């Protein structure tokens, strides 16, 4: 069974970086902002972990700078928004065609 939340230690083990690196990435990347529990500890969702893995890939595998990785993540988000908008438009047009 998949967990709902992961601690910073679990995420750091999963991506192979120390917790202080993840905390630094939180400061550098707006898109990475795990919630904190009542005790003030970071809790990561699967979406947060996916963002951490994407950042790690861009920085370590693709050799992006921090700024370059920020831009790549922003481009990816913009592409997803466009794809979602096109999907909505297609559904509308199919519905319109069916009504005619």
Cα 32 to the chain's mean position, in Å?
7
- b or e along 63-97 (b: 16 or more beta carbons within 10 Å of the residue's beta carbon)? ebeeeebbebbeeeeeeeeeeeeeeeeeeeeeeee
Distance CA 77, CA 100 (A): 35
Domain-located, residue 1: no
Residues of the chain with confidence (pLDDT) below 50: none
Domain extent at residue 91:
6-99
In a domain, 76, yes or no: yes
Q: Is residue 48 part of a domain?
A: yes
pLDDT at res. 1: 59
Task: Judge whether 95 lies within some domain.
Answer: yes
What is the C-alpha separation between 61 and 51, in angstroms, rounded? 15
pLDDT (0 to 100) of residue 75: 87
Q: Flag whether 27 is in a domain.
A: yes
Q: Domain count of the chain?
A: 1
Give me the CATH number covering residue 65.
Answer: 1.10.1660.10
């Amino acid at each position: 069974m998949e967990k709902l939340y992961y601690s910073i230690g679990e995420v750091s083990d999963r991506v192979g970086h120390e917790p202080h690196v993840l905390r630094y990435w939180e400061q550098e990347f707006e898109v990475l902002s795990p919630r904190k529990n009542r005790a003030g500890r970071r809790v990561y969702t699967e979406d947060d972990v996916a963002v951490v893995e994407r950042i790690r890939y861009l920085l370590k595998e693709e050799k992006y700078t921090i700024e370059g990785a920020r831009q790549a993540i922003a481009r990816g988000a913009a592409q997803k928004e466009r794809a979602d908008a096109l999907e909505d438009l297609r559904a509308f047009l199919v519905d319109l065609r069916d009504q005619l």
